[in-house]
């Protein structure tokens, strides 16, 4: 469950406007296949919401907690109870505000040829190999997350 949530939360990093439509490709190495889905990201000064309408699933990041919803239930996750989700929310906020330096305690940041690469420290490196993304102005050209098990996620903003 955590890995699915981890993948989902990490895939929401590209927060760059009030409402963003995106396409996500998740490659699963063990099955040698990709899964595709579309999502919508809404950004407000008090919260960030990521929704997958076709799956009737969403995550809302507030200042106090994370709310996971699906058609049947709502689950509240506190930041204090889950350090991993706390790190992910910092990543999301840092990229959204263009303050990537705010996640230096978790990642080394390298920039070259307009691509930003985040190299994880020991704590995050047991799951993530690296993250690469490129923004043109405020639009995400791509975000690719490489996992240590050879899975990866590629996200492209569609609007």
15 closest CA partner among 132, 96, 87, 88: 96
C-alpha torsion sign, points 117, 135, 99, 62: negative
Locate 27 and state its tokens.
Answer: 């490659």
What is this structure's pTM? 0.76
State how far Cα 90 lies from the chain centre. Answer: 10
Whether pLDDT at 12 is above 70: no
Condensed to tens digits (0 to 9), the pLDDT of residues 36-83 reads: 999 998 877 888 888 999 999 998 889 899 899 998 999 999 888 776
Strand partners, 8: none
Q: Which of 7-21, 76-90, 98-112 has the lowest mean pLDDT?
A: 7-21
Task: Report how far residue 128's alpha carbon sits from residue 144's, in angstroms, rounded to the nearest whole number.
Answer: 11
């Amino acid at each position: 469950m955590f890995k699915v949530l981890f993948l989902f939360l990490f895939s929401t990093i590209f927060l760059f406007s009030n409402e963003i439509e995106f396409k996500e490709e998740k490659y699963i190495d063990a099955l040698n296949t990709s899964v595709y889905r579309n999502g919508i990201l809404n950004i407000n000064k008090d919260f960030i919401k990521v929704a997958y309408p076709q799956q009737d699933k969403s995550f809302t990041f507030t200042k106090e907690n994370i709310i996971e919803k699906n058609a049947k239930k709502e689950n509240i996750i506190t930041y204090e109870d889950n350090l991993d989700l706390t790190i992910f929310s910092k990543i999301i906020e840092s990229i959204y505000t263009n303050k990537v330096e705010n996640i230096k305690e978790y990642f080394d940041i390298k920039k070259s040829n307009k691509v930003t690469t985040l190299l994880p420290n020991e704590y995050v490196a047991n799951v993530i190999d690296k993250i690469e993304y490129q923004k043109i102005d405020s639009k995400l050209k791509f975000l690719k997350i490489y996992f240590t098990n050879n899975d990866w996620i590629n996200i492209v903003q569609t609007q």
